[in-house]
Structures are given as C-alpha cells and as structure tokens.
Structure 1
C-alpha cells in the first residue's frame, strides 16, 4: 500500500483480497472520501432525502454461502457490482475501505455504518482488475445497476 491524503492506497486486487482475508468487519464506501463523510457521519436516502443513522456502505466480509470459492473473486464482485457509482454520483467519488458499527439498513438493504474509521483508498487500477476478474468467469455478470428499463 502507498499513502494518499493521509490514508494508505490499495493498488492491486491482491492487496485488497489480503486485507479482507486478514480483517473482519470491513466495508467499502463509494463517496468523496472520509473527510467529507465523517463530518456528517450519515448518509441520506437518495429518493426521499431522509437522513439515515450511518454511512451507506457495502460489506466485504465473505458470506458462508460463498462456500470456499476464491476470496479474490468475492472481492472483485463486491467492487464490480457498484463500480457504476462514480459515474452516477459525480466527480471525486471513489471507493474507500472502512470499519465501524452497523446501525441499521438502508433502503437497498445496505449496512449503515456509524463510528466509521477509514482504513484505505482503493485505487482505480483495483476496479479495473475486478472488471477483468469478472470478465474471465464462465458466465460473467454485469454491474448491479443494469440498464434496460
């Protein structure tokens, strides 16, 4: 890892996979960063504007149903599924890893994390590696938000 804005930067999918294998209770958040987020320490529901009791994030812990499949592919999926967010949310939005206390669930059933502690940024190269990892699968999937309405 290297450092940027006083946070380490994970530069490879292998580094992020190693972090997930060594630590429980990690989340990835797509935003303008911890300095912006930790001021308010809560997200707002995009549809209604209602403040929620924590930051909207996605868990990186491997679920039991994954049944021994590669952690690298799990991590790639967690990133790939939400890689559309920088495009939707605007300039400066990028992924970072945090820990904290789950305080509830958001409207998409995502964890709402309070007492957030930033661990590291995730470099764009890691997102590209995640896309490549997904594309190598026999039946690759698209990002979570799919067009076609």
Structure 2
C-alpha cells in the first residue's frame, strides 16, 4: 500500500468555502484519491460498466440560479449530495478537491475532467458539518430522501 497523496487537509467547512470563494474551476471527487485516479484518469459508469473519458466530479463553482444564497450552503450541498459514496464505494473512498479541464458529461450529467491537478483532501469532519448545514434547511427545502 502506498502512502496517501501529499496534499493539505481542509479541516472545516469554512476552509473549503474559503477555497471555493477564492478560486474558480474547482471540483470535488469521491474516490480512493489521486494516486489511484491519476493512473488512468477515467471513471466507469457503475450501471453499465461503460468507460468514461475523464474523472467524474462535482463542481464547486456557484451557478447563477443560486442567486444570493450563501456559498456555504452551496458547498455543503455539493458534499451532501454524494456523501453516500464513501459507504457505497467501499473502504478508502473519501472526498478531495481538484482542478481539471472538463471533457464531457457523465450519465448523471456530472462533469468529467482530465488534466487533473490535486488541491486538497477534505476531512471527515467537513462532511459532518455539511450534513448538519443541509439538515437545518430541510423544512425550507422539503424532504430529502438520501441516506448518509
């Protein structure tokens, strides 16, 4: 087993929000990390087994329709939506931030990227903070039927 890829660790949701606020073009990837992903720089569609032309990621950039809502809530939602992957994909799967060039869209309309530059790991505590942030919105947003 190789040592974890050398990157800084974002230890709080606030650190991730500050990074997303300071830099455009960042993505979150849930995987076993850059050391595994950068060997091939391709994902596979879990349903069909079809190879995809890049890594499946989620953008941290705000969308214009988000309007004046807080960036903190946007970033929390981006983590929350895929936190089930740490359970579904097995041991060692964790989120990390990267920069990359979009080369297409995956089967769930997620960006696919190549020319990947790893930026930082996201600590498990950040996921807990994101889940708490989203949980505070449930009354206003309606039922979310995802399990973490």
2:136 paired with 1:139: no
Q: Deviations over 1:96-121 (max 9, x none)?
A: 00111000000110000001110000
Task: Report if aligned partners of 1:42, 1:54 keep a CA contact under 8 Å in 2.
Answer: yes
Mapping 1:13-92, distance limit 5 Å:
13-92=13-92
SS of the residue corresponding to residue 51 of structure 1 reads: coil
Runs of 4+ in 1 over 2 A off after TM superposition: 138-143
**RMSD between aligned alpha carbons?**
1.4
Task: Report if aligned partners of 2:5, 2:34 keep a CA contact under 8 Å in 1.
Answer: no
Which segments of 5 or more consecutive residues in structure 1 lack a partner in the other structure?
none
2: CA distance, partners of 1:33 / 1:95: 8
Q: Deviations over 1:7-50 (max 9, x none)?
A: 00100000000000001111100000001000011101112212
Residue 118 of structure 2: aligned partner:
118
SS of the residue corresponding to residue 38 of structure 2 reads: helix
Superposition TM-score, scaled by structure 1 size: 0.90
- Per mean C-alpha deviation after superposition, the further-off stretch among 46-55 and 24-33 is 46-55
Between the two proteins, the alignment pairs up a number of residues equal to 142
After TM superposition, give the deviation of residue 58 of structure 1 in Å.
0.6
